[in-house]
Structure 1
Amino acid sequence: MNVRRLIPTAALAGAVALGATALTACSGAGESAGKDGKVGVTASFYPMQFLAEQIGKDHVKVFGLTKPGVEPHDLEISPKQTARLGESDVVLYLKSLQPAVDKAVAQSGVKNVVDAATLTELEVHGSSGHDHGAEEGHAAGEGHDHGHDHGEAGRDPHVWLDPAKYAEIARGVGAALVKADPDHAADYRKNTDELVGKLTALDTEFKDGLQNTASRTFITTHSAFGYLAERYGLDQEAISGVDPESEPSPARMKELQGLAKQENVSTVFFETLASDKTARTLAADTGLKTDVLDPLEGITDKSQGADYFEVMRSNLKNLQKALGAK
């Protein structure tokens, strides 16, 4: 897998420190925090909201900008949400993932902003799914190449799907809450350590569970799993040139048919917040099965789990089945 690291490792600690020291204790909680004295945190979408809730617990009041069932990339922010954002004590988001959020944060005037993209090392993930058929898809006017999924210089923002990188972000968020609310610093540190411990255990589960498989390649409609694939030695093949709800080009279909046979691929994965039309079309034409690989951009009643850990373990189980884990 072709991966180019864009942020020097030496800069990581500094980035975390900057994200934390940028926050100062507020002299008065905003309206979003209410009159209960809790720190008002606005989180851009589920993975950021989950961190705030797990680390802040009883000391924070978390408001999520992206409602359950809404595809985060397509989020449009209402005037009411913009106002709520401006009244927050802390804003937690991941720059480049949601253009509407980036714009609202820039215009909000909120000083206590934490960009999760500065708390870990972002990478470029090479995938034939990003390259093949892109020009054809644009020429036909039938889709795009997930340009909205990637930020500056093509950096992949889907870091939460790698438990180890998600743990790095968790530590940065914990440090930020300590700065914002030093009176409860001990609790934030304790909660951060507990969460990081759980994420470390999950990382071990994935390593052990995917160590010995019949195939190392998986096909997905959404190229969100580059970090997960890299961490566990897998190869992600995403359908390119079209969005998750569009049919693949004939050229890409033919290529994936050959790839599936060559790499012993059994399954085409789709996700819960987007249509499964692409996956089912490809599977029908290639004789493959379909299953869910959830990018965890939101939790709904259709999700295979109630929270981050449950859905990630469902993803692991589905990958083990599709890849022929032994």
Structure 2
Amino acid sequence: MNVRRLIPTTVAAGAVALGLMAVSACSSSNAADGGRNGDKLKVVASFYPMQYLAEQIGGDHVSVSVLTEPGVEPHDLELKPRQTAELNEAGYILYLKGIQPAVDKAIAQSEAKNKVDAATLTKLEHHGTEGGHSHEGEEPGHEESGHDEHAHEGEGEAGADPHIWLDPVKYAEVAKGVGASLEKADPDHAADYKKNTEALVGKLNGLNTAFQQGLKNTTTKTFITTHSAFGYLAERYGLDQEGIAGVDPESEPSPARIKALQDIAEKDKVTTVFFETLASDKTAKTLARDAGLKTDVLDPLEGITDKSKGRDYVEVMRSNLDALRKALGAK
């Protein structure tokens, strides 16, 4: 006999009701604490590049959770109910509009007081599968002017490339904006946020210098990658990104695109097809085999996993630099 069948439905219903009441009470308590976890500001970051900023700038004064778990492809993330509740309980949300539609929608509906879209803290550009180009007569790493031909009025514009964190200069601009917003959200610790921001910007400036110097003199300026995430990086350092797919890593290339890439590889003396750790490498390896090219990893840094070539943003970016130097024939 199944003993559980003898439990009256009213008792079961009562248990469920008590459970829901407990969850409700817990949520109310968390919402009432002003978005704080003890003496720390509750910060929710949408995915790794935002998490890194929050942790580096927030330091000991923030408690950071991230919506996108390590190893999960962020573009297609669907939120669990507890994550939606977490957004409502946050004291500060840091996200990047245009990367994760489901996250954007949930954040727009959340009750959090401080919601910061990193896309509004710098200037977005449009990049296709050909995400960058060389600048005749310009030094790689030049500062963008207010009339940048790739810039568009109105941050967050549909179709704009959201991968701003892969350009250390743009990422530093975002870091400054995040620091300023944390100072306003938690003024008691403003001095520490300012100090931490300056330290992070210093790291990013050093990374920018390393890329400038490391990619200044190369045999070729062209690199092929599965995911057209490196348009800002290519633009910054005078390189030509040729993407197999577009900005969406799951899009499939046409036969005509594959043929064009084979021709480009031959003409521009391309040696390597890059793939990434969080998406399929099948197309990259097929193209490389057919064109007689090598393969290597160029990490778009959408998450840190055991397969990442580094423990954090700066380390993985330096690994990316090493991979690019090798592929481009740096001297």
Q: Which moved more, 1:150-159 or 1:104-113?
A: 150-159
Provide closer, same or farther for how the CA distance between residues 310 and 46 of structure 1 changes in structure 2, counting only shifts above 3 A.
Answer: same
Match of 2:229 in 1: 224
Residue 211 of structure 2 is aligned to residue 206 of structure 1: yes
Amino acid across the alignment from 2:267: Q
Match of 1:51 in 2: 53
Q: Retained in 2: the 8 A contact 1:248–1:282?
A: no
Provide closer, same or farther for how the CA distance between residues 259 and 204 of structure 1 changes in structure 2, counting only shifts above 3 A.
Answer: same
Q: Retained in 2: the 8 A contact 1:247–1:277?
A: no
Shift of 1:248: 3.9
State which of 287, 302, 318 in structure 2 corresponds to 1:282.
287
Shift of 1:98: 0.5
State which of 72, 76, 85 in structure 1 corresponds to 2:87.
85
Residue 299 of structure 2 is aligned to residue 297 of structure 1: no
State which of 129, 144, 157 in structure 2 corresponds to 1:152.
157
Shift of 1:239: 1.0
Match of 2:20 in 1: none
Shift of 1:154: 1.8
Provide closer, same or farther for how the CA distance between residues 242 and 193 of structure 1 changes in structure 2, counting only shifts above 3 A.
Answer: closer
Provide closer, same or farther for how the CA distance between residues 128 and 179 of structure 1 changes in structure 2, counting only shifts above 3 A.
Answer: closer
What runs of 5+ residues in structure 1 fail to find an aligned partner? 1-25, 131-149
> How far apart are the structure 2 equivalents of 1:251 and 1:89?
49
Q: Retained in 1: the 8 A contact 2:119–2:156?
A: no
> How far apart are the structure 1 equivalents of 2:48 and 2:250?
22
> How far apart are the structure 1 equivalents of 2:246 and 2:231?
17
Residue 269 of structure 2 is aligned to residue 259 of structure 1: no
Shift of 1:95: 0.8
Provide closer, same or farther for how the CA distance between residues 184 and 247 of structure 1 changes in structure 2, counting only shifts above 3 A.
Answer: closer
Shift of 1:129: 7.3
Provide closer, same or farther for how the CA distance between residues 222 and 78 of structure 1 changes in structure 2, counting only shifts above 3 A.
Answer: same
| TM, length-normalised to structure 1 | 0.82
Q: Retained in 1: the 8 A contact 2:128–2:246?
A: no
Shift of 1:127: 4.0
Amino acid across the alignment from 1:180: A
Provide closer, same or farther for how the CA distance between residues 303 and 88 of structure 1 changes in structure 2, counting only shifts above 3 A.
Answer: same
Match of 1:64 in 2: 66
Match of 2:119 in 1: 117
Cα deviation 1:1-33 (Å, max 9, x = unaligned) = xxxxxxxxxxxxxxxxxxxxxxxxx99433xx4
> How far apart are the structure 1 equivalents of 2:164 and 2:61?
26
State which of 205, 212, 215 in structure 1 corresponds to 2:220.
215
Amino acid across the alignment from 2:116: V
Provide closer, same or farther for how the CA distance between residues 210 and 242 of structure 1 changes in structure 2, counting only shifts above 3 A.
Answer: closer
Task: Note the 1:96-245 alignment, pairs <5 A.
Answer: 96-128=98-130, 152-240=157-245, 244=249
Q: Retained in 2: the 8 A contact 1:29–1:37?
A: no
Equivalenced residues, count: 279
Look up the SS of the partner of 1:125 in the other structure.
Answer: coil
Q: Retained in 2: the 8 A contact 1:127–1:236?
A: yes
Q: Retained in 2: the 8 A contact 1:269–1:291?
A: yes
Q: Retained in 2: the 8 A contact 1:244–1:278?
A: no
> How far apart are the structure 1 equivalents of 2:113 and 2:204?
30
Percent identity (aligned): 72
> How far apart are the structure 1 equivalents of 2:162 and 2:246?
19
Q: Which moved more, 1:315-324 or 1:269-278?
A: 269-278
Provide closer, same or farther for how the CA distance between residues 153 and 37 of structure 1 changes in structure 2, counting only shifts above 3 A.
Answer: same
Amino acid across the alignment from 1:52: A
Provide closer, same or farther for how the CA distance between residues 211 and 275 of structure 1 changes in structure 2, counting only shifts above 3 A.
Answer: same
> How far apart are the structure 2 equivalents of 1:244 and 1:267?
18
Shift of 1:257: 1.0
Look up the SS of the partner of 1:227 in the other structure.
Answer: helix
Cα deviation 1:184-225 (Å, max 9, x = unaligned) = 111100000000001001000000000000000000000000
Match of 2:8 in 1: none
Provide closer, same or farther for how the CA distance between residues 246 and 213 of structure 1 changes in structure 2, counting only shifts above 3 A.
Answer: same
Shift of 1:126: 4.4
Q: Retained in 2: the 8 A contact 1:29–1:38?
A: no
Greater RCO structure (CA 8 Å; 6+ sep)? 1
Shift of 1:250: 2.4
> How far apart are the structure 2 equivalents of 1:297 and 1:268?
19
> How far apart are the structure 1 equivalents of 2:254 and 2:83?
38
Match of 2:329 in 1: 324
Amino acid across the alignment from 1:118: T
| TM, length-normalised to structure 2 | 0.81
Q: Retained in 1: the 8 A contact 2:131–2:235?
A: no
